[in-house]
Structure 1
Amino acid sequence: MQEKKLKVEFSSRLITENQELNLLDKSEVLDLACGSGRNGLWFADKGHRVTFIDKSLANLCMPSEPQADSMPTEHTYLAWDLEDGSAPELAQNKYDLVLVFNYLHRPLFPQIAATVKPGGLIVYETFIDKQAEIGRPRNPKFLLKSNELKNEFEKWTLLHYFEGEVMSDLNLSYKAQLIARKPSC
């Protein structure tokens, strides 16, 4: 259980310090390309139902102590490779909140937008092209251009947008951050 708390403590400040996200009632949350699941775990700890998706769930820290290789049933765990065409499309209008951190696969933008329920939220944070000057990733395929993320969700209500230096876990990186609400109609 200690490891779970440690992971939750390192959840992105973008979610832990946002008043709107703190006020969400029990919601359906998608943690896309979840990695260790640290951001989805923050919502799981608050009683939300979380779907964790990643190419491999090997690094996922379980939101509760599983019994003999079983996973907690209140959450969904999907080992899907979203880039090779083998995964089914994301369900439309399913999630109240979608989280995407440190992941960019541009062909998924339409699916990500479609999976958010009308009036739902997206929280997206990933690297911008300036990151290549200081470290990884360096491949432009994984780096947003200036205002690219904001432009991708231009018809949504923008609650937060930032591009620049982000300090997390004592590491400096260059990222874009977006929190936006999908139009209700």
Structure 2
Amino acid sequence: MQEKKLKAEMASRLITESLELSLLDKSEVLDLACGSGRNGLWFADKGHRVTFIDKSLANLSVPSEPHTGSIPTGHTCLAWDLEDGSAPELVQNKYDLVLVFNYLHRPLFPQIAATVKPGGLIVYETFIDKQAEIGRPRNPKFLLKTNELKNEFEKWALVHYFEGKVMNGSNLSYKAQLIARKPDC
């Protein structure tokens, strides 16, 4: 049972197996809609400064500093609802890397793109419409159409793009995966 939980907490293979991402050094990282924070924590463990944002931070498993119970120095945790208009806009040109996994709110695409520094990277992985055939989510509001993610970042330099079956252990899902670099100008 413990082994299964540990596997569930590991960062996405999209991150851990990317040469481009392994070359980043002490970057500013945004883990947007972070959930448990597993992807951002992978970067935090490597010395990057991570900002975790989610509507609720109840599932965030960011370790606290020994003896203080506070978030480790250099990391920020923000409980922001990015969909209801109550959160401030994301700061432009702030992050070297933005991570978005299993989350889709189309009106945020421009803010997400704007928060990446010129020359910075975005890693985005979420469900495509074929997912509705095998499980959740089924609502088209939360499912990308064919090439939608690639088209949203069409002016960026594509490092990786994939749409189709993704296996996570024994769990099958249909997703789009994108790693792209923002133009310098």
Q: TM-score range by the shorter chain?
A: over 0.9
Q: Distance in 1 between matches of 2:117 and 2:168?
A: 30
Does structure 1 residue 95 correspond to structure 2 residue 79? Answer: no
Question: Aligned ranges for residues 127-146 of structure 1 at < 5 Å?
Answer: 127-146=127-146
Question: Residue type matched to 1:40 in 2?
Answer: G
Q: Distance in 2 between matches of 1:86 and 1:73?
A: 26
Q: Taking structure 1 as the reference length, what is the TM-score of the superposition?
A: 0.94
Secondary structure at the aligned position of 1:97 is classed as: strand
Secondary structure at the aligned position of 2:113 is classed as: helix
Contact kept, 8 Å, 2:125 with 2:178, in 1: the verdict is yes
Structure 2 residue aligned with 1:32: 32
Q: CA deviation at 1:79?
A: 0.2
Structure 1 residue aligned with 2:11: 11
- Aligned length, in residue pairs: 183
Structure 1 residue aligned with 2:106: 106
Structure 2 residue aligned with 1:152: 152
Does structure 1 residue 53 correspond to structure 2 residue 58? Answer: no
Aligned-pair Cα RMSD in Å: 1.9
Q: CA deviation at 1:7?
A: 7.0
Q: Distance in 1 between matches of 2:94 and 2:24?
A: 16
Gaps of 5+ in 1: none
Gaps of 5+ in 2: none
Q: Taking structure 2 as the reference length, what is the TM-score of the superposition?
A: 0.94
Q: CA deviation at 1:67?
A: 4.0
CA deviation vs aligned residue, 1:97-121 (integer Å, no higher than 9, x gap):
0000000000000000000000000
Q: Distance in 1 between matches of 2:169 and 2:109?
A: 28
Q: Distance in 1 between matches of 2:10 and 2:79?
A: 23
CA deviation vs aligned residue, 1:126-155 (integer Å, no higher than 9, x gap):
000000000000000000000000000000
Q: Distance in 2 between matches of 1:139 and 1:60?
A: 25
Contact kept, 8 Å, 1:41 with 1:63, in 2: the verdict is no
CA deviation vs aligned residue, 1:40-63 (integer Å, no higher than 9, x gap):
000000000000000011100114
Contact kept, 8 Å, 2:63 with 2:71, in 1: the verdict is no
Q: CA deviation at 1:74?
A: 1.6
Q: Distance in 2 between matches of 1:67 and 1:17?
A: 34
Contact kept, 8 Å, 2:49 with 2:74, in 1: the verdict is yes
Contact kept, 8 Å, 1:118 with 1:184, in 2: the verdict is yes
Contact kept, 8 Å, 1:8 with 1:39, in 2: the verdict is no
Question: Residue type matched to 1:176 in 2?
Answer: A
Could you tell me the percent identity over the aligned residues?
A: 87
Question: Residue type matched to 1:133 in 2?
Answer: E
Structure 2 residue aligned with 1:181: 181
